[in-house]
Every structure is written in C-alpha cells, then in structure tokens.
Structure 1
Amino acid sequence: MKVHSMLSDAEFTSLMDKARSGDSEAAQKLVQLYEPEIRRAARMRLTDSKLRRIVDSIDICQSVFGKFFETAQSPKGIDLKKPEQLLGLLVTMTRNRVVDEHRHQTAQKRNAGDGVVEAAANLLVSDDPGPKTEIEMKDMLAKVRSRFTAEELEIADLRGEGLTWDEVAKRLQVSADSCRKRLERGIERVREEMR
C-alpha cells in the first residue's frame, strides 16, 4: 500500500510536527511508513556491484533518515504538507546519497596516498585486482589480512564471498550495522598502521 493512501494530510501534518519537536515515536512511525519505499529506491539505484559490496539499501536508508531528521529538527526545518511531498523528498535524498557514495568510492580509488592499502583491503570484498600487479597485490593483501582480527577477517571473507550485510549478520548472529562498522574500523585501523 502506498504511503500517501495510509495517512490523511491532517495526520501527516500532526506526525511531522511531532517528529520536528523530537518525538521519537512520531519519528519511528515515519520511518516505518517510508522505509520500504526508500529501500526500494536505493536498491533500484545501487546498480554497481562493487558499490553494493560496500554499501546496501539499509545503509542508504539510515543515512537518508538521519539527514532528514537532522534537517527537520533544525531551526530552518522542512515545511511539508502532504505525505507524497515527503516521499518525493526522501527519494531525491536517496538518489543523491547513492550518487555521493559512488563519487566517494571513486575518489578513494584515485587517492594515491591510500590507494595501495585501499586496493588491498578492497580485494577482501572484491574480485577485481586493480591497477597493481598480481604479485604486489597478493603481498599487500597478505599484509592487510595479517593485521585484521579474526572477527574482522571472517566478516571480510563472508563479504568477499558476495554475501550481503544481512546475510553476514545472520551467520555471525549480530546486527548488519555492527558487522559493517567492525569491518570499516578494521580497514581504517590497518590503513593507519601501514602508513
């Protein structure tokens, strides 16, 4: 069922006013109503398989809602009167977030300072060897892998097998967000250690 058919304009305005004032129940209700559409919009735009290995629709959705509520609760706020206006705004934010993530990942690949470690770490979640020779990459990969904790290595290997964050989380019996953050922290730590 479409979001705009679930709420009258008056109900929507009331819910938005409460969410703007910091009412967590109102915010949760908005997330419940709009999350399926936003995740669907994110999945439709996450067409790059390399990007999908790094970020998924849950990541995009959480980021979009975080930014939306931050802006909605700011003094400037957001003035929306109809449920479909919010849907349009969130879908636009989703599209922009996917584009930003793609740009960020592309920029990271071009960054010469972090390029070697990033490429090696990316091998943990990608089959593409990148610009370095295979021998150099295998050597760097071995160095990176040796610096990961057993838990980080298990997450990286499962992602490297093509599992989604949800599938990794289910296997490890933790949340998808927790898995993603653990791997990100591990990659960041290794990058710092190898500088």
Structure 2
Amino acid sequence: MADESIDIAELIRQIRRGQPAAAEQLFRYYEPEIRAEIRYRLRSTAVRRVVDSQDICQSVMISFFLRVGAGQYEIAEPQELLQLLLKIARNKTNDAYRAQLADKRDVRRVRSLDAAKELEEKVGREKVATNAAEMADLLQELERQLSTQEFEIASLRRQGFQWDEIGQKMGESPEALRKRFHRAVERIGRTLTPWF
C-alpha cells in the first residue's frame, strides 16, 4: 500500500489548514487497509452484529484528523502513517469489544436480533461524522473547548512550530507542554466522538 508518490507531509499540512479535499484523499487512500484490519479483528459474531467496521473506521479517521488538526502528529512517510492508523484501528476495535462485552451490555447474552432490530439500533446509536466538512466542525469544536494556553499551542503547531520552539515561546518545558496538550486533546476528543 505504501505508495511513495503520495506526499503525506503536504497532505497533513493541508489538513491542518482546514482543506477538506486533503482529508478526503487521505481517507480514501487508507480506508481499505483500515477496514481490512478492523474486520480481521472483529471475529466475534455477537459483536459484529452490533459493531460495524465502517463505524470504527470513521472513528479512526476522525480521531486522527482531530489530532492532526490540533498539531499532535509529525508524519512524513506513507508507511509510517499506515502503521499509526492501523494501531489506532486496533485500539478502537479493542475498545468496541470491551464496550460490547461489558457485563451490563454483554452482546453474547442476546438471543436473537432480526435485521430490522439491528438497523434500528444502529440508527439509534450516536452517529459518527462521515465527511470532511463535519470533521472540520469537530476540529472547530475541539478548539473551542481548549483552554487559552492549549489553543495557543494548537495554533503554533498548525503553523509548523516544533515542541522545542513552542517551549521557548511559552517559557515552559516542551515535554510538559506536549503532554498537557495531548491529554487535553484526548479528554475533549472523547466527548466528541465514540471510541476516541
């Protein structure tokens, strides 16, 4: 899959600048491999009845786009990005399993579900954003919920500043700023998307 003709670093810069076409291109390019990984890991028939690989794939990409938009990742190679996306997919699939097999919701205890009931439950679940415009809205909401300092860090990261430079500008340890910022993105992201 790792097509070296794709300039991942440029696509990520475009995504940070809010260009939906770059997000769509990246999604189309990596979606088949992410879905294959998710389907491979969704072995339980009971879980597959209520969790769709497309839902998890969209959650993977939304999570990735939010983090890229917030300046979290530095990726230049297609293979490096693929490995990151597959890791996120594995984690989200594991989270979906844990959620569905929890005692209060254990899907293994469900005796039977007809197709109409499954469709009704899917429609009733929280919808995952499916296009780049909605992802941009999510990024905007993420930024709205950042503190003033966290927003400043996000702005500097989008402008291409490295953590060392941000630390110098803000008069703090780059590592402390990076960790605090990543925790904030994780915290807010979980409120915006399922399985963040």
1:7 equivalent in structure 2? 5
The count of corresponding residues between Structure 1 and Structure 2 is 126
**Aligned ranges for residues 6-85 of structure 1 at < 5 Å?**
7-8=5-6, 11-74=7-70, 76-85=71-80
Measure the CA separation in 1 of the matches of 2:115 and 2:93. Answer: 27
Higher RCO (C-alpha under 8 Å, 6+ residues apart)? 2
Is 1:182 matched up with 2:143? no
Describe the shift of the 1:81–1:119 C-alpha distance in structure 2 as closer, same or farther (beyond 3 A): closer
Measure the CA separation in 2 of the matches of 1:41 and 1:119. Answer: 22
Measure the CA separation in 2 of the matches of 1:40 and 1:154. Answer: 23
Shift of 1:154: 6.2
2:97 equivalent in structure 1? 102
Gaps of 5+ in 2: 127-196
Q: Following TM superposition, where does structure 1 have runs of at least 4 consecutive aligned residues deviating by more than 3 angstroms?
A: none
| Percent identity of equivalent pairs | 32
SS in 2 for 1:50: helix
* Aligned alpha-carbon RMSD (Å): 2.5
SS in 2 for 1:62: helix
Shift of 1:180: 5.3
Measure the CA separation in 2 of the matches of 1:7 and 1:37. Answer: 18
Gaps of 5+ in 1: 126-152, 160-167, 169-178, 186-195
2:141 equivalent in structure 1? none
Measure the CA separation in 2 of the matches of 1:61 and 1:99. Answer: 13
Shift of 1:119: 8.5
Between 1:49-58 and 1:28-37, the stretch displaced more is 49-58
Shift of 1:90: 0.5
Q: Which amino acid aligns with 2:101?
A: T
1:91 equivalent in structure 2? 86
SS in 2 for 1:47: coil
Measure the CA separation in 2 of the matches of 1:119 and 1:183. Answer: 20
Shift of 1:21: 2.0
Q: TM-score under structure 1 normalisation?
A: 0.57
Shift of 1:183: 4.2
Is 2:101–2:108's contact at 8 Å kept on the other side of the alignment?
no
2:149 equivalent in structure 1? none
Is 1:39–1:58's contact at 8 Å kept on the other side of the alignment?
yes
Is 1:7–1:83's contact at 8 Å kept on the other side of the alignment?
no
Larger radius of gyration: 1
Is 2:50–2:122's contact at 8 Å kept on the other side of the alignment?
no
Shift of 1:181: 3.8
